[in-house]
Amino acid sequence: MFDKDVSIQAIVYIVNNLKGYVTDMHKISKILYFADQNHLSQYGRTITGDDYIKMPYGPVPSKIDDIFKALRGESYFSNCIQPDVSDFLEIKNKYVINAKKQCNTDYLSVSDRKCLDSAIMKCKDKSFGEITQMSHDFAWNNTQMGRRISEKDILREIGDSEAYIEYATAKPTFKLNTI
């Protein structure tokens, strides 16, 4: 399930740690994709809880993309953007994300930060084209344009076993005992 507060702090964390590098929406989206992929593989959950959509330049986190559009004023909800978003983030030159504050790491677990750091290292000095190519993986190729990328395919890309993939993507079921 999408966690807006964690997602905002993850974005701020990325921007804070990309000092001296490009902090555009494309790079941030791909860092989040690789961090979520890694976290899902290692810990059985994503960091953001967002769904990734196949777009021409790679996977895009759906709800985070909505946040970016609202910050740019390109959403019906732009006037309603909550202070907890605009207090932390701003858009420059239509695509560059700036952080207005330091990340509140209380929202990010140690494992969240570990996977974010790994994805930042993987992408920080890569060009738009290189990051696009890196994200055009099995999961992206196995999805129709504009559709949600399967978590199972995201895990297959990283090389997880089918047994683990079934375990990690199983939706919990609860059975209530009645008297």
Q: What is the pLDDT of residues 90-122, one digit of tens each?
A: 999 889 999 999 999 999 999 999 999 999 999
Read off the tokens for 172.
């919990």
Read off the tokens for 152.
């199972």
Summarize the confidence of residues 159-178 as an average pLDDT: 81
* Within-domain flag for 97: yes
Q: What is the pTM of this model?
A: 0.92
pLDDT band with cut points at 50, 70 and 90 for residue 43: very high
Summarize the confidence of residues 122-137 as an average pLDDT: 97
Tell me the residue type at 134: M
Longest dimension (CA), the chain: 63
* pLDDT for position 76: 63
Domains in the chain: how many in total? Answer: 1
Residue 175 has pLDDT above 90, yes or no: no
* Within-domain flag for 19: yes
Read off the tokens for 25.
């929406």
* Within-domain flag for 34: yes
Summarize the confidence of residues 5-12 as an average pLDDT: 96
Average pLDDT, the chain: 91
* pLDDT for position 74: 74
* Within-domain flag for 176: no
In the chain, pLDDT over 90 holds for what percent of residues? 77
Give the DSSP letter string of the chain.
Answer: ---HHHHHHHHHHHHHHTTTS--BHHHHHHHHHHHHHHHHHHHSS-SS-PPEEEETTEEEEHHHHHHHHHHHT-STTGGG--HHHHTTEEEETTTEEEESS---GGGS-HHHHHHHHHHHHHHTT--HHHHHHHH-SHHHHTS-TTSBPPHHHHHHHHT--HHHHHHHHPPP-------
* pLDDT for position 179: 58
Summarize the confidence of residues 79-85 as an average pLDDT: 67
Domain range for 144 is 4-169
Residue 75 has pLDDT above 90, yes or no: no
pLDDT band with cut points at 50, 70 and 90 for residue 81: low
More confident residue, 176 or 25: 25
